[in-house]
Structure 1
Amino acid sequence: MRQHFKFLTLIFIISLYSCSDNSKSKDFTVNDINIIPKPAELTLNKGSFIIDENTKIIAHDSLKNIANILTDKLKSSSNIELDFSERSESNFIEFVVKEDLENEAYELSVTDKKVIVTANSLGGFLYGVQSILQLLPAEIYGTDTNGDLILPTIEIKDKPRFRHRGLMLDLSRHFFPKEYILKTIDRLAMHKMNVLHLHLVDDQGWRMEIKKYSKLTEVSAWRVDQEEKPWSARDKNDPKEKGTYGGFLTQKELKEIVAYAAQNNIDVIPEIEMPAHVTSVMAAYPELTCHGNPVAVPSGSVWPITDIYCAGKEASFEFLENVLLEVMEVFPSKYIHIGGDEATKTNWEKCPDCQRRMKTEGLKDVHELQSYFVKRMEKFINSKGKKLIGWDEILEGGLAPEATVMSWRGFKGGEEAAKQGHDVIMSPGGYCYFDHYQGPQNEEPIAQGGFLPLSKVYQFNPIVEGMSEKEAKHILGGQANLWAEHIPTTSHSEYMIFPRLAALSETLWSPIKLRDWNDFSKRIKTQFLRYEVLAINYAKSAYIVTSNMEIDLDKKSINLTLQNEFPKSDIRYVLGDVKLGEKAIPYVNPIEISESTVVKASLFENDKPIGKAFIDTIKFHNGVAKVVDYEIPYNDRYKGSGSSTLVNTLRGTKNFHDGQWQAWLNENMEVVINLDEPTSVSKVTVGALESQGPSIYFPTKIEVFVSDDGENFNSVGNLVRPYANNAGSELKDFIIKFGKQETKFIKVIATNLKKAPSGGGVFLFIDEILVE
């Protein structure tokens, strides 16, 4: 009887233990799996694996370093310290080498008893760990994971579609320190990206210590501080004025970056520009130009780029070879990027040394001279066991034999290079230039221009339709480029990279047959949570509600449509003085508006507005749909929607290509609005845009006139606004108030600045004249 009691007691205890253990177990659904980039093959099973303090790690020899990436993350986030073990029957995570797996491929098997990560390379194991982390709650990336660490039972077989999956950081236009670059490496690894391309040289700054040429960091790394001015409207510097804005990375710092990147399966490719984009070099060593005259490190835009290496002087090649020898000591990458783009060769055409070189080498023009330059540098780079990468301009005049082309001017250069049998990295501006706007310009920090939303990045495919199988094999992959002319801070840099890097990572990693924007839109929301835990300043532009408006001038009504990037979004709106809340109306069909009102809209989740609200004021004023006579015609490049543009109630945005603007180049705007009948008027508002970079300036004066007959006008009010420096892009309504007038005709003259402070012409942009 006593033995029977003991047996029952044991069964009871085991039962209690099993119930307690099973209480943490759960079954997952497909909606719980939010790995980015999407794995090539994934099978979800019932059940789960629980990571707790009793979980063991099995990893032999060098695999322990990889296993520590996971154990360190678990310790920092959940305070769970896992021990290593030689073997275990259950509740373990094991790392296993499988020789026949492709490089960077991995397999992840999770049952209720064990987790097995299988790979044959550092990259494969790292990516297996990244997938484990993304199967856990987003809090795993922080320092306070309160919940249980439960993995779904799952089988994953995964490998990358392309072997080059990169991001370029421009350190020249604005300098970013080592600490930010190390953070960026962590985030690249999180997205299974494997290349960091550092743009170390450009006209505006040299960013690498070169011991043989100390002036590169004493002079070339610094420019005169003109950060308060627009990039494209900065003054030309005096070569004698000392620069104070900039910085550089020491060779010691760069070696630390390279070593840290290697631990994360990331290759760091240095870019040392030649023959152009090197005005900063010429500020220190003017003897390397064709003319030898002193130049300054520019503080902003340079165009055309004429101060380039003299291709006729042996000193140019000696300098570059010495520089590259030090670069190669720091960067073990098999690739050296030499730029090769946007060289204006006017100095070569008249330089005696260059002409002598052309004659000696039998070169028919300066394009072939550039080809000679690139081929000679490639021969040197190849002699050191390295390979050359250049922008697609290196195709001009004949491509160097072993060169790899990075195609940025669309896909065409990459296609041509692949046909010639050269390796290609696709980086077309329309899909991969992360310095472009990703949301409405009115809502975004200043960017280079262009529009590249998250959804368009997701459409990127490095393989061009119509390529042969042989040509497609030359496409190594793709890369995002973040040019930093308008990106002065690391916070701004993060904003431009994320979340677009997530979309790019999936286009370069996952099989194209799995490409599904609806599915990605669901998973990216979990990625946003991870970014928040990591304190990444990611852009929420995809949430922003945007509008399209069409006006019926006959009915004097507007049809307003609302949308954002995510499919089946719950967009709600209100009209007038109503708060966005419970009374918001679900948006289904275009909204017809026929009177002045304020429209407010937002994306809703769980019946609450999220993201930035869309707010627009629509005014039906006395001038709507009236005839406008243009005393001075508008510019043919910016016609708006024609003669009704200034009186159609539709307002322009900071994107001056949006079709709502009319512009005058170096001329005043002078228009007459025919109100048809005597109308009481006491205020005229003129909407204008200023963006001094592309030479768009506010008017310096606006004057309003009235007339009963359209011939004899009397001035009733004016506004004077002297030129003021403005580094940003700004929309402004200029309001001219006056005593009430009964009038049939309104004349408005807006005075053009006519000449920019830095020289050159001036555009005057107007979107609406409101008559009230």
Structure 2
Amino acid sequence: MNKAVVGSVLLFLLFVAFGCTEKSKTVFSQEDIHIVPQPNDLKLNQGAFEFTPDTKFVVDGKYAEVVNFLREKFNRSANWELEVVTAAPANNFVELVVDTSLKEEAYVLEVSREKVTIKAKGYSGFLYGLETVRQLLPVSIESNTLVDAVDWVIPNVDVSDAPRFKWRGFMMDVSRHFFGKDYIMATIDQLALLKMNTLHLHLVDDQGWRIEIKKYPKLTQVGGFRVDQEEKPWNARPTPELGTKATLGGFYTQEDIKEIVAYASSKGVNVVPEIEMPAHVMSAIAAYPELSCFQHQIMVPSGGVWPITEIYCPGKESTFAFLENVLLEVMELFPSQYIHIGGDEATKTNWKVCADCKKRVRDEGLANVEELQSYFIKRMERFVSSKGRTLIGWDEILEGGLAPGATVMSWRGVKGGLEASEAGHDVVMSPTSHCYFDYYQGDQNLEPLAWGGNLPLSKVYKFDPVVEEMTPEQAKHVLGGQANLWTEYVPTEAQAQYMTYPRLAALAEAVWSEKEDKEWLDFSRRVSSLFERYNVLGINYAKSVYQVSMEATVLESGAISLVLESEFPDSDIRFTLDGSPLTATSEQYSSPLTIDKTTTIKAQVFKEGEPIGDLFEKTITYHKAAGKPVTYINRYHDSYQGAKDLGMVNVMRGSKNFHDGQWQGWLGDDMELIIDLENPTEIKTVTIGSLENQGSGIYFPVGVEVFLSDDGNTYKSVGAINRPYAVNSSSELKDFVLEIGQQSARYVKVIARNLGTPPTGGGSWMFIDEVVVE
């Protein structure tokens, strides 16, 4: 029996069962259920429960607050004041039942025609059961204004659910750019929707101190503000002169913090404060120079700082007195068991020459400044532990030896987590590869400026806090995982939302759902429904997942095979090859395309007949060297091989994402190669495509030269471009075009000269994506 027939039969049965005087209910299928994160166990039954103005919430007084968010949603969207009672009526009610046999945060949801029952051990379990009910309701429940003609029904289901990990976190960097209290609370709402339970606030960094400390008022008076240089690139902002008026910034008063913490508690979210030390503290030193080794007067930096040498002096007792006083006030405000102290990226140049630090090293019998950092962290850990709390820090706190009670947050890959868990320490996994939301999530040419790297939704979804190398005993020390939004390149709340959603949904499922229950195709269906909620909520979520990408392969015939795809499987991709506009009636992509001439491709994902996501438009220059044999005299680096031997002639151009698989890289070396055109060929121009991203150590060639030969032995130079090094704070694509007139040759030799050693020292990368011969 087909789906349509089944649906008709079920609808008829419901009509008979409810009687002809009652409004008919929706018939649900498994495809109608879009819960994120995926519950552990869900059974769909026949029938539905309908919310009406008379629906009651049956709640013990202890948990009365937990139902308020759903009551408020019905009040705004349906103009209903749903009543809370302590005794159940005959039917039409939602009841919360305490079940002490369930685990913490677990819940059981049972929906029938007469009632909805949520069983849980405590507050969080009830909250998550109600959040599941919220996601079963029509998306109109998210409306802030009255919505007409909505059937407020949910399917009859049995759900048994519990989280895989107890730390399901999201970090917001409010130091680099400050976000107000209301935005923090809105973020907490979204964490609760996705059953995430930890908000990590990065309250302190070089560029801003964001929490009021009453004992040290200058921390916010001075450290909370910087000179406004937002019009300049983050890493190209000069150091302001002492005394320049600082106007950009802000901070949370202690009353703000109390309000945030209380609101988070009502949403089942624990707020973990991070007070950086010993580095990333120039905002504190600007306020109190005596905290540093040499007590220099400095300004709060307006942008990037590297290396970070102005850090706390661990040789002075006054430094530790300051930090203990700060943490005492912090711990009064935050009930969190965990207190994050940062601990990352401390350049210890000053410690090596500071008299106080050298004395501390001697007095404590330390071997070097790495052990001095360990002394620093261990001392702070003893203080935090003495107050009944647990110290947590980035994986650099492992250096020189880890404090016995510390927990490690592993960000530089998984190595820190492996090392700490092997030593018996708890860990939170937060590797850059899967958890850094300041990375791009789509085509860099279409996305807002970001830190770098590429972290699409599908890759976030693959995140697993337990890595293969861990033993079962080590896995027991994995508390969970966390996404991090660093905000150097995120100046506004709208952009913060764009970088966060929907990737947060993928992370939420990665840390809640059992590994074997995860399936990308199913998630892509469910998260699409979440987008509809974001639309109603006015959340500026990224649609990068709908972007079309293209992969090219050179065929034996010399033609190019093109594969079009988006992250969501089975997307409806429409395309044109003649440059004409795209419409819903344009040809639908179904199999690889073959081209053998210069072609402009337009492609876009369509949904329900409407375009969605960005338009993909690319001109494939089918040039005379396409697919021809290439001999590398100086071969590319193993780390950046592009399309290997065809990389320079596969007609695919690289993007600003240097990990996109199109770039070939040379580290400190020149590129030298020869292209065999196989027959004497008329040539007018040779173009060499290159990328510069100085922040990542990638520099344009300082010169390119082209040689031609008829026999492959004797070459003559036919053109050269010299380009001296110049400071460039942006990521930039550049074609070096050599007009060589009308010449004939079989062999083309190209040399691109590497900068060699950049001003910052070390070796320079040179990236080339194509040699175009026309």
Aligned counterpart, 2:3: none
Residue 120 of structure 1, CA deviation? 3.0
Structure 1 residues 683 and 565, CA gap change in structure 2 (3 angstroms): same
Once structures 1 and 2 are overlaid, which stretch shifts more, 321-330 or 95-104? Answer: 95-104
SS of 1:443's equivalent in the other structure is coil
Aligned counterpart, 1:557: 559
Once structures 1 and 2 are overlaid, which stretch shifts more, 59-68 or 577-586? Answer: 577-586
Structure 1 residue corresponding to 2:183, chosen from 180, 183, 196: 180
Q: Answer whether contact 1:229 1:725 (CA < 8 A) is retained.
A: no
Residue 110 of structure 1, CA deviation? 1.4
Structure 1 residues 231 and 666, CA gap change in structure 2 (3 angstroms): farther
Aligned counterpart, 2:195: 192
Once structures 1 and 2 are overlaid, which stretch shifts more, 602-611 or 651-660? Answer: 602-611
Q: Spell out the pairing of 1:256-335 with structure 2 (5 A cutoff).
A: 256-335=259-338
1:499 aligns with 2:505: no
Aligned counterpart, 1:82: 82
Residue 69 of structure 1, CA deviation? 1.7
**1:718-755 Cα deviation digits (max 9, x unpaired):** 9999979664x3435576779x7455598999899999
Aligned partners of 2:759, 2:578: CA distance in 1, in Å? Answer: 43
Q: Answer whether contact 2:579 2:602 (CA < 8 A) is retained.
A: no
1:577 aligns with 2:583: no
Aligned partners of 2:700, 2:35: CA distance in 1, in Å? Answer: 48
Q: Answer whether contact 1:239 1:283 (CA < 8 A) is retained.
A: no
Structure 2 residue corresponding to 1:427, chosen from 418, 427, 430: 430
Aligned counterpart, 1:207: 210
Q: Spell out the pairing of 1:76-225 with structure 2 (5 A cutoff).
A: 76-85=76-85, 86-142=87-143, 143-146=145-148, 147-225=150-228
Aligned length: 754
Structure 1 residues 754 and 414, CA gap change in structure 2 (3 angstroms): closer
Residue 662 of structure 1, CA deviation? 5.2
Letter in 2 for 1:36: V
SS of 1:228's equivalent in the other structure is coil
Aligned partners of 1:361, 1:33: CA distance in 2, in Å? Answer: 61
**1:590-646 Cα deviation digits (max 9, x unpaired):** 322211111223334345543223222111234545788999998897665568655
What is the aligned-residue RMSD (CA, Å)? 3.6
Q: Alignment identity in percent?
A: 53
Letter in 2 for 1:128: G
Letter in 2 for 1:246: G
Residue 219 of structure 1, CA deviation? 2.4
Residue 526 of structure 1, CA deviation? 0.8
Aligned counterpart, 2:454: 451
Residue 374 of structure 1, CA deviation? 0.9
Q: Answer whether contact 1:683 1:736 (CA < 8 A) is retained.
A: yes
Q: Spell out the pairing of 1:585-664 with structure 2 (5 A cutoff).
A: 585-606=587-608, 608-624=610-626, 645-661=647-663
Aligned partners of 2:304, 2:748: CA distance in 1, in Å? Answer: 41
Aligned counterpart, 1:343: 346
Aligned counterpart, 1:536: 539
Aligned partners of 2:715, 2:37: CA distance in 1, in Å? Answer: 68
SS of 1:547's equivalent in the other structure is strand
**1:391-450 Cα deviation digits (max 9, x unpaired):** 122122222121111122222322332232222212122222222222232332222222
Aligned counterpart, 1:406: 409
Structure 1 residues 495 and 348, CA gap change in structure 2 (3 angstroms): same
**1:487-529 Cα deviation digits (max 9, x unpaired):** 1111111111111111111122222332222221221111111
Aligned partners of 1:602, 1:180: CA distance in 2, in Å? Answer: 33
Letter in 1 for 2:43: T
TM-score, normalised by the number of residues in structure 2: 0.88
Structure 1 residues 238 and 438, CA gap change in structure 2 (3 angstroms): same
TM-score, normalised by the number of residues in structure 1: 0.88
Aligned partners of 2:402, 2:458: CA distance in 1, in Å? Answer: 35
**1:552-593 Cα deviation digits (max 9, x unpaired):** 4x6332222222222333434332234434554444443222
Residue 319 of structure 1, CA deviation? 1.1
Structure 1 residues 448 and 246, CA gap change in structure 2 (3 angstroms): same
Aligned partners of 1:741, 1:473: CA distance in 2, in Å? Answer: 70
**1:448-481 Cα deviation digits (max 9, x unpaired):** 2222222222222222336444433322211111
Aligned partners of 1:581, 1:406: CA distance in 2, in Å? Answer: 48
Aligned partners of 1:711, 1:40: CA distance in 2, in Å? Answer: 68
Aligned partners of 2:626, 2:332: CA distance in 1, in Å? Answer: 68
Letter in 2 for 1:209: E
Residue 317 of structure 1, CA deviation? 0.4
**1:238-280 Cα deviation digits (max 9, x unpaired):** 4443433322222221221111111111111100111112222
Structure 1 residue corresponding to 2:484, chosen from 476, 481, 484: 481
Q: Answer whether contact 2:584 2:611 (CA < 8 A) is retained.
A: no
In structure 2, runs of 5+ residues without a counterpart are 1-14
1:517 aligns with 2:534: no
Residue 53 of structure 1, CA deviation? 1.6
Q: Answer whether contact 2:172 2:485 (CA < 8 A) is retained.
A: yes
SS of 1:431's equivalent in the other structure is helix
Q: Spell out the pairing of 1:380-399 with structure 2 (5 A cutoff).
A: 380-399=383-402
SS of 1:281's equivalent in the other structure is helix
Aligned counterpart, 1:377: 380
Letter in 1 for 2:47: G
SS of 1:62's equivalent in the other structure is helix
Aligned counterpart, 1:69: 69
SS of 1:49's equivalent in the other structure is strand
Aligned partners of 1:372, 1:305: CA distance in 2, in Å? Answer: 19
Structure 1 residues 671 and 284, CA gap change in structure 2 (3 angstroms): farther
Aligned partners of 1:467, 1:726: CA distance in 2, in Å? Answer: 40
Q: Answer whether contact 1:231 1:693 (CA < 8 A) is retained.
A: no
SS of 1:495's equivalent in the other structure is helix
Letter in 1 for 2:525: K
Aligned partners of 1:102, 1:631: CA distance in 2, in Å? Answer: 64
**1:663-721 Cα deviation digits (max 9, x unpaired):** 67899999998878886666665544344533556689999999999877677x99999
Aligned partners of 1:711, 1:467: CA distance in 2, in Å? Answer: 57
Structure 1 residues 373 and 144, CA gap change in structure 2 (3 angstroms): same
**1:533-566 Cα deviation digits (max 9, x unpaired):** 11111122222221211224x6332222222222
